[in-house]
Amino acid sequence: MPSQSSTVHYDRMELSTARIAIDFGEETQSMQEAKKTSTRNLPGKAPTPTVKPKSRTTVNMDALQKSVGYSLRRAQLSTYDLFSAAMEPFDVRPSQFAVLVLIRSNPGLTQSSICAALGIQKTNFVALLDKLEDRGLTVRRKVGGDRRSSALHLTPTGETFVVNMEAAHDAMEKKLTKRLGAPRTRELLATLNKFATRGHA
């Protein structure tokens, strides 16, 4: 059995060890146990509740699928990646694609007519045309008797460019048609066009 003096000696050693541990930012086992005990006994400290995650693997989308606006936006997002991939070699945005296709289908159409058909503001349309002209794809020609009006045409380079662009777009459209089949896709297009037309009425 250790003597009283040896017990005091051990106590001093333990105290020294604790001081060294504090100096190096460490804690002895007795210090850790004391901290746990003091934390458990803190007044007013409620235990942290444990919440189990729901095991449901499917999400109820009924509330959103009843929304026309949300459904249209979701459909647009589901096709945008395909469009971007198809148009990447041509470096055209959706608005530029639409303008180029209309000019090819309607050579000589005025700027104001295309703006009205696509719902593009005139200031934005001028900037868009500037970019297409810088690429050598389109040209503006003055309409006789009206200095403020310009007729839009594709250049020979632009004609070849749009032919190839539309071919890539047609290939993309075939992929989209497979989602519903040809008959239902035609019905969808008719419904969407009617919906958009009535929105501008």
**186: alpha, beta or left? (left if phi > 0; alpha if psi -120 to 50):** alpha
Q: Given a cut of 60, is residue 21 above it in pLDDT?
A: no
Whether 47 is covered by a domain: the verdict is no
- In the numeric block, which tokens belong to residue 140? 């503006």
Whether 154 is covered by a domain: the verdict is yes
Whether 48 is covered by a domain: the verdict is no
Q: Given a cut of 90, is residue 179 above it in pLDDT?
A: yes
Give the closest residue to 166 by CA, choosing from 76, 87, 85: 87
What is the percent of the chain where pLDDT is above 90? 58
Res. 19 pLDDT band, cuts 50 70 90: very low
Whether 147 is covered by a domain: the verdict is yes
Domain count, the chain: 1
Whether 35 is covered by a domain: the verdict is no
Q: Given a cut of 90, is residue 106 above it in pLDDT?
A: yes
Range of the domain at 179: 76-199
Give the closest residue to 97 by CA, choosing from 114, 122, 121, 78: 114
Determine the Cα–Cα distance for residues 108 and 148; give it in Å rounded to an integer.
Answer: 15
Q: Which residue has the higher pLDDT, 20 or 148?
A: 148
Whether 175 is covered by a domain: the verdict is yes
Amino acid at 164: N
Determine the Cα–Cα distance for residues 137 and 160; give it in Å rounded to an integer.
Answer: 9
Res. 36 pLDDT band, cuts 50 70 90: low
| Contact by Cβ (8 Å): 140, 122 | no
Whether 89 is covered by a domain: the verdict is yes
CATH number at residue 164: 1.10.10.10
Res. 158 pLDDT band, cuts 50 70 90: very high
Q: Which residue has the higher pLDDT, 39 or 22?
A: 39
Whether 5 is covered by a domain: the verdict is no
Three-state DSSP class for 44?
A: coil
